[in-house]
A and B are shown apart, each in its own frame.
Chain A
Amino acid sequence: DAKTTQPPSMDCAEGRAANLPCNHSTISGNEYVYWYRQIHSQGPQYIIHGLKNNETNEMASLIITEDRKSSTLILPHATLRDTAVYYCIVTNGSSNTGKLIFGQGTTLQVKP
């Protein structure tokens, strides 16, 4: 699986958009970009994933660059409950059953 690079920490004001970047310059054509987050002392939670196109769900939006070498997770209106470690993962899910390679992630601190 391709490696990812994320900033170790970011701050965001409550109510503002949080934009979390991720570099995955060695991503392969059949690899997806997944985002998970882990709130303190809880198990990781799936947020969103994408292959080429931008994706949006009730939690967040995922913007993938045209060359697929980087992506941005957007939390449109961050709340204090969004304070967590956010992990960007690239994986060919079908060949790596059950296995996600987690990096160190980005610790997002949402401040009032």
Chain B
Amino acid sequence: KAGVTQTPRYLIKTRGQQVTLSCSPISGHRSVSWYQQTPGQGLQFLFEYFSETQRNKGNFPGRFSGRQFSNSRSEMNVSTLELGDSALYLCASSLKGQAGELFFGEGSRLTVL
């Protein structure tokens, strides 16, 4: 059974640009969550989607957005990039979305110059 797949794994952007990250959950999982990990703040919850609806949201500015498609694949977008957005972005999937046994991908490492 394939795990959670995130693309791209690494990317470099400059300030002011935008970026889109993709996440394919485990087959059959309908919930996708996104997390940001930085050395200073650790792992922080961004948002969660279930059946194409955002059900839960963390404390991040509106520049961070996401969506989920009918096949449960999800994308997150960060607009007007800032240096502080440099981070490892992790996607996690679960069957129903209950915040327990989440399956994480390897992450997308974003560097903003």
Contacts and interface: CB of A to CB of B under 8 A. Distances in A.
B101 A98 contact: no
Interface in A77-96: 87, 91-94, 96
Q: How large is the interface on B (under 10, 10 to 19, 20 to 34, 35 or more residues)?
A: 20 to 34
Contact of B4 (A32, A43, A99): A43
A93 B58 CA distance: 15
Contacts, number: 72
Nearest to A100: B99
Interface residues of A, number: 22
Contacts of A46: 101-103
B98 interface: yes
A104 B40 CA distance: 10
A94 B49 CA distance: 14
Interface majority SS on A: helix, strand, loop or mixed?
A: loop
A35 B86 CA distance: 27
A43 B105 contact: yes
Contact of A97 (B42, B44, B99, B106): B99
A101 B42 CA distance: 10
Contacts of A96: 56, 99
Given A43-B105, A46-B102, A93-B100, A99 B90 contact: no
A35 to B, nearest CB: 11
Given A98-B45, A98-B48, A102-B43, A43 B104 contact: yes
Nearest to B47: A98
A44 interface: yes
Interface of B: 4, 31-33, 42-45, 47-50, 55-56, 58, 90, 92, 94, 97-107
